[in-house]
């Protein structure tokens, strides 16, 4: 049994935590950073930052370019590949991601919750010249992305409230949900419909549909999405994407039988949205 969060902190080694926070900074503060950048971002002395970087560099977790800027090294890529190969969630989801990408010709993603954020684990980008980014390996907020909301819809209400309390609900566009009450109402709608929609909540001009699932052998929680530019994705097409990810999520979760179809017609969406 894992220790409670407050007791787990008692066992943490401060230097190890700082080194890992330094590595994680490359996913949020920038892909290439100087010692000063990292020192300011992590609020630790430059001498400590320098020593951590040199240690990580000796193990190939970071590398340094000619301009003395640091970036993630090949050891991080190696570990990422091992994660992708070993996790049942990715293994089970990949055939469905490829099928959706072939069928829709739009960008398809697999996401999980990591440190109270959405982490895009796998992405297959659209072949169209104009398409949404894959963002594989990048993070995004949970409250304003279709993947994030689909994942939140699988959690208990108390967990959702704790995440919102820790991270807030910042606004990214005029369509972003920024109140907990509205988010909870949205999650109820997602559970009823079977999928989540993002109509330019995180990025202007980007539409997306996602559905969450629980991988049966490991119990891991994931979500898959289809996204595209608003200039090409009509409302009816977006709802079609919702039905497609709903079906794929059920297949990944190993859910059999023929329950009621997801409420993906325009009338129902308007009524509950």
CATH assignment of the domain containing 70: 1.10.10.10
| Residue 201 shares a structural domain with residue 256 | yes
Do 71 and 159 have their domain in common? no
Per-residue model confidence (pLDDT) at position 206: 95
For residue 10, the Cα-to-chain-centroid distance in whole angstroms is 29
Calpha distance 85→241 (Å, rounded)? 27
Residue 76 has pLDDT above 70, yes or no: yes
Which of 121, 206, 116 has the alpha carbon at shortest distance from 165?
A: 116
Q: Are residues 37 and 162 in the same domain?
A: no
Task: Tell whether 48 and 161 lie within a shared domain.
Answer: no
> Are 195 and 234 contained in the same domain?
yes
Question: pLDDT, tens digit, for every residue of 6-60?
Answer: 444 555 688 888 999 999 888 777 888 999 999 999 999 999 999 999 999 998 8
Residues 225 and 162 in one domain: yes
Q: What is the pLDDT of residues 243-273, one digit of tens each?
A: 999 999 999 998 754 333 444 443 333 333 3
Q: What is the average per-residue pLDDT within 133-151? A: 92
- Residue 97 — very low, low, confident or very high, per pLDDT cuts 50/70/90? very high
Task: Give the least confident one: 29-33, 131-135, 140-144.
Answer: 29-33
Grade residue 153 by pLDDT with cuts at 50, 70 and 90: very high
Q: Which of 31, 56, 78 is the last residue of a domain?
A: 78
Residues 112 and 178 in one domain: yes
Same domain, 58 and 93: no
Q: Judge whether residue 241 has pLDDT over 90.
A: yes
Residues 72-78: what's their mean pLDDT? 85
Query: Which pTM does this prediction carry?
Result: 0.72
Last residue of a domain, one of 55, 78, 101: 78
CA–CA dist 273, 268 (Å, integer): 8
Per the structure, the count of domains in the chain is 2
Q: What percent of the chain shows pLDDT beyond 90?
A: 60
- Higher-confidence position of 230 and 3: 230
Domain check: are 14 and 118 in the same one?
no
pLDDT of amino acid 212: 96
* CATH number of 144's domain: 3.30.450.40
11 vs 82 pLDDT, higher one = 82
> What is the reported pLDDT for 68?
86
In this model, does residue 142 exceed pLDDT 80? yes
Domain boundary among 29, 58, 78: 78
Q: In this predicted structure, what is the pLDDT of residue 272?
A: 31
Q: Give the residue numbers spanning the domain of 44.
A: 5-78
**Using 50, 70 and 90 to split pLDDT, how confident is the model at 65?**
confident
In terms of domains, do 40 and 124 share one?
no
Question: Residue 93: is its pLDDT beyond 50?
Answer: yes
Same domain, 94 and 29: no
Contact (Cβ atoms closer than 8 angstroms) between residue 227 and residue 208: yes
Are 142 and 241 within one domain?
Answer: yes
């Amino acid at each position: 049994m894992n220790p409670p969060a407050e007791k787990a902190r008692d066992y943490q080694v401060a230097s190890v935590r700082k080194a890992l926070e330094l590595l994680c900074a490359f996913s949020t503060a920038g892909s290439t950073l100087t010692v000063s950048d990292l020192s300011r971002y992590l609020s630790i002395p430059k001498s400590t930052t320098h020593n951590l970087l040199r240690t990580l560099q000796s193990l190939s977790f970071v590398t340094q370019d000619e301009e003395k800027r640091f970036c993630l090294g090949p050891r991080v890529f190696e570990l990422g590949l091992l994660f992708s190969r070993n996790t049942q969630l990715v293994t089970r989801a990949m055939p469905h991601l490829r099928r959706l990408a072939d069928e829709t010709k739009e960008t398809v993603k697999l996401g999980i919750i990591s440190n109270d954020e959405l982490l895009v684990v796998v992405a297959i980008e659209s072949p169209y010249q104009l398409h949404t980014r894959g963002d594989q390996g990048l993070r995004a907020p949970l409250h304003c992305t279709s993947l994030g909301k689909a994942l939140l819809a699988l959690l208990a209400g108390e967990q959702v409230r704790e995440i919102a309390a820790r991270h807030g609900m910042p606004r990214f566009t005029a369509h972003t949900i920024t109140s907990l009450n509205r988010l909870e109402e949205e999650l109820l709608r997602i559970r009823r419909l079977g999928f989540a929609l993002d109509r330019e909540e995180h990025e202007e001009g980007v539409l997306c549909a996602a559905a969450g699932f629980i991988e049966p052998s490991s119990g891991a929680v994931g979500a898959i999405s289809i996204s595209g530019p608003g200039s090409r994705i009509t409302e009816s097409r977006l709802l079609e994407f919702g039905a497609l990810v709903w079906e794929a999520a059920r297949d990944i979760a190993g859910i059999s039988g023929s329950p009621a179809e997801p409420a993906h017609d325009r009338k129902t969406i308007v009524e509950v949205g």
